[in-house]
Chains A and B, each alone.
Chain A
Amino acid sequence: MDLLRFATAGSVDDGKSTLIGRLLHDSKQIFEDQLAAVAASSRKRGHEGVDLALLTDGLRAEREQGITIDVAYRYFATPNRKFIIADTPGHAQYTRNMVTGASTADLAVVLVDATHGLREQSRRHAYVASLLGIRHVVLAVNKMDLVDWSEAVFDDVVAAFLEFSSSLELQVTPIPMSALRGDNVVDPSDEMPWYKGPALLAYLETVRLDDVAPSAKPGRFPIQWVVKPQPGSSESRDYAGSIASGVFAPGDDVVILPSGLRTRIASIATFDGPLDSAAAPRAIRMSFVDELDIGRGDLVAPAGARPEVTNSFDATVCWMDGAPLRAGARYLLKHTTRTTPVIVRELVHRTDVDTLASEPADTLDINEIGLVRLQSATDLALDPYREHRTTGSFILIDEATNATVGAGLVR
């Protein structure tokens, strides 16, 4: 059984919580005590029937205000696949939340309310998904019951979305549905004979992610932890970590970055024994034929396919903190297992997430996205984010508050 991670995005009242509740409920993932609790809450609020949205609105503040304030993670499985949903609210902080949810997702489900048509937020969601490296987007056109199951309404929404997203390299799968009534979520709908495609769950169960799998890319292995042999033991010094991409095997000629030391892999092992080869995302231990002064924060790469080593680079940054990013400011940058001070040399431009136009700017405020030029105190081994999610991403941390203030994608 394999694993599919997807993020859901929608504007307030598009029915996203209802959709997820419906997906979980109709795929029999909701337990009786959960349903009983939701039924009781629905009655207390004077709702008719069971409000499936309450299944996912977890915190009291959310129930009181009828909103979702934070990314929530949901789990369900069918006999074919296990799914992890990053449920990202469309309300305040939508960019920050969606960037967070999309950072670990393989696919995004973007909800649109058929009664409203395409809204600006749908464009932002498509842009953020594309920016974060998601190639597969389901355009879930919801509330079809309120537009008399109209094919024309559906076609209009789809056309508007495709027009906008054509520049974003997305593979878009539009599905008309009613989350409230359960049409085309888990069970196919009888109301829209004009729609020949699959229901949402059938699509999620069978979609093949034809992006290049992390294991098919050149190897990247950030060293996380040095395993010291027991005193008196003849065992080698091992370097532990999780393979970020590619496949490694004993005998491979590798380079340790940023130092540039060349060596060969002597062994790869896990707790369960030695391995002939190991692929992303496996957690392993690696040893080398040479004794080297290396440790946490160093990156192992094939000698013939190494990332760029630099202390000066451009990155797209999504800002997540109330205090804006400014040129000249200093932060801590965490890239793979290495943390280093960094200075913002220049804020090159800000991206208008609605029009995708670049505009000059002095600051990046919370939920804004821009291109910045950074200089780090130590060299970093960087790949473009579009090619390597792990070695192309970083976070920025405020040194005074320790808050995570920015998400960075190497250009």
Chain B
Amino acid sequence: MTFTERASEQLSQLDVLESHAIFVLREVAAEFERPVLLFSGGKDSAVILRLAEKAFRPGNIPFPVMHVDTGHNFAEVIEFRDKRAAELGVELVVASVQESIDAGRAPDLGPDASRNRLQTVTLLDAITAHGYDACIGGARRDEEKARAKERVLSFRDAFGQWDPRRQRPELWQLYNGRVRPGENVRAFPISDWTELDVWHYVQREGIELPPIYFAHEREVVERDGMLLATSRWVRPGDGETAYTETVRFRTVGDATCTGAVRSPAATLDEIIAEVAAARVTERGATRADDRFSESAMEDRKREGYF
């Protein structure tokens, strides 16, 4: 029979990962009433947006994108967020941590404190207010060891909580998307990608990223072994000195807890070479929020974090 004799194309591992991610996005769109794409402005969500284009064009992307905004942003990231949403013609929903604080839903930790943990309150409130039943995110299992046990479709109860002991078994590519009203899933289409896969894909696809991912000169202070960019919220404290350094960011998050790395890597080729040779994980290098304890991520996930 002709179809068995046909020379078949050999897909690269990046093609296989891409096709799987597109499959997950289409499953979510087909099986849920009100999905939403969580968009941080970081490289992983930029990749997911491209995958969403690949999954649904020439039709519309069938869900809005939502940014959980801590108010502590890099200006470049907000600019990038607004530009990409406009280009894609998708609705942009901004859920504000400041509004949660003003409404008394989240504690005011002071203007300089990291609001990363508070995002959980804002996220869960937004899920309830909009009736979202699936939140698509860019989390990867290689990022952190609590994430290594995460499902592609991760069930959350009506309180938004993750119970690692009660996860649904996930077999083949048969994702169980059934939830009751008030419950939701977090969907992670790039679960199987590594940081290096993401960068190779960014390069292959020519995906635009906020400029803070590339080496630039910036005023920083060194705090707890991390380089934090000075800003309205990050000022040199006692014994700290601000100085200018050539840096780039490996992750994008709340500006008060996302550290920069000293790096001369100004092009994608240079970044890929740097990531391939890196000896420290991207979260270990740059995220103060994961350093609180051995199980910081596990605890935040249980509460309903991304």
Asked if B241 is at the interface of the complex by the 8 Å CB criterion, the answer is no
Given A75-B194, A77-B196, check contact A224 B178 (CB 8 Å): no
Cβ-neighbour of A302 out of B3, B58, B191, B295 (below 8 A): B3
Q: Bound state CA distance, A217 and B3, in angstroms?
A: 8
B30 interfacial by beta-carbon distance below 8 Å: yes
A33 CA / B281 CA spacing, docked (Å): 7
A186 to B281, CA, bound (A): 22
- Indicate if B165 sits at the interface (CB-CB under 8 A): yes
Q: Mark A70-113, 1 if CB is under 8 A from B, else 0.
A: 11111101000010100000000000110110011000000000
Query: Would you list which residues of chain A between 132 and 160 have a CB under 8 Å from chain B?
Result: none
B298 at the interface (CB under 8 A from A): yes
Which residues of A (41-97) have their CB < 8 Å from a CB of B? Answer: 41, 55-56, 58-61, 63, 69-75, 77, 82, 84, 96-97
Q: Which residues of A contact B203 (CB under 8 A)?
A: none
Check B171–A393 contact: CB distance below 8 A: yes
Q: Mark B1-32, 1 if CB is under 8 A from A, else 0.
A: 10110101111110111111011001101100
Chain A nearest CB: distance from B154 CB in Å?
12
Given known pairs A33-B284, A227-B56, A404-B176, the reply for A59 and B295 (CB within 8 Å) is yes
Chain B positions within 8 Å of A395 at CB level: 171-172, 174, 176
B133 CB, nearest partner CB in chain A, Å:
12
Tell which of B34-42, B76-84, B142-150, B261-269 binds the partner: B142-150
Contact mask for chain A residues 294-313; partner B; CB cutoff 8 A; 1 contact, 0 none: 00100000101100000000
Chain A minimum-CB-distance residue to B31: A339
Residues of B within 8 A of A32 (CB): 279-280, 284
Whether B148 pairs with A73 at a CB distance below 8 angstroms is: yes
Q: Is B202 among interface residues, defined by CB-CB distance under 8 A?
A: no
Cβ B191 vs Cβ A305 within 8 A: no
**Residues in A neighbouring B20, C-beta threshold 8 A:** 242, 281, 283
Q: Is B294 in contact with A41, judged by CB distance below 8 angstroms? A: yes
Report the minimal beta-carbon distance from A284 to chain B, rounded to whole angstroms. Answer: 9
User: Are A77 and B16 in touch, CB under 8 angstroms?
Assistant: no
> Contact at B13–A82, with CB atoms within 8 Å?
yes
Q: Is A292 engaged at the interface, CB distance under 8 Å to the other chain?
A: no
Q: Is B3 in contact with A230, judged by CB distance below 8 angstroms?
A: no
- Distance (Å) between the CB of B43 and the closest chain A CB? 17
Tell me the complex Cα distance, A15–B13, Å: 30
Residues of A contacting B171 with CB < 8 Å? 99-100, 103-104, 393, 395, 404, 407
Q: Which of A122-130, A188-196, A233-241, A342-350 contacts B (4 or more CB under 8 A)?
A: A233-241
Residues of B within 8 A of A393 (CB): 171-172, 174
Q: Is B208 an interface residue (CB 8 A)?
A: no
In the bound complex, what is the Cα–Cα distance between A388 and B57 (angstroms)? 29
Instruction: Check A70/B167 contact, CB under 8 A, given A59-B149, A281-B11.
Output: yes
- Which positions in B face A, CB cutoff 8 Å? 1, 3-4, 6, 8-13, 15-20, 22-23, 26-27, 29-30, 53-60, 141-142, 145-146, 148-149, 164-165, 167-174, 176, 178-180, 191-192, 194, 196-197, 278-281, 284-285, 294-295, 298
Chain A contacts to B: CB under 8 angstroms: 1-3, 31-34, 37, 41, 55-56, 58-61, 63, 69-75, 77, 82, 84, 96-97, 99-100, 103-104, 213, 215-219, 224-225, 227-230, 233, 235, 238, 240-242, 246-249, 252, 270-272, 277-283, 296, 302, 304-305, 320, 332, 334-335, 337, 389-390, 393-395, 397, 402-404, 407
In the assembled complex, 29 residue pairs joining A and B whose CB atoms fall closer than 8 Å, in A order, are: A2-B13, A31-B278, A32-B279, A33-B280, A33-B281, A60-B295, A70-B149, A70-B164, A74-B148, A100-B170, A103-B171, A103-B172, A104-B173, A213-B8, A215-B9, A217-B4, A224-B27, A227-B57, A229-B59, A230-B58, A241-B26, A242-B22, A271-B54, A282-B11, A296-B30, A305-B3, A393-B171, A404-B168, A404-B176
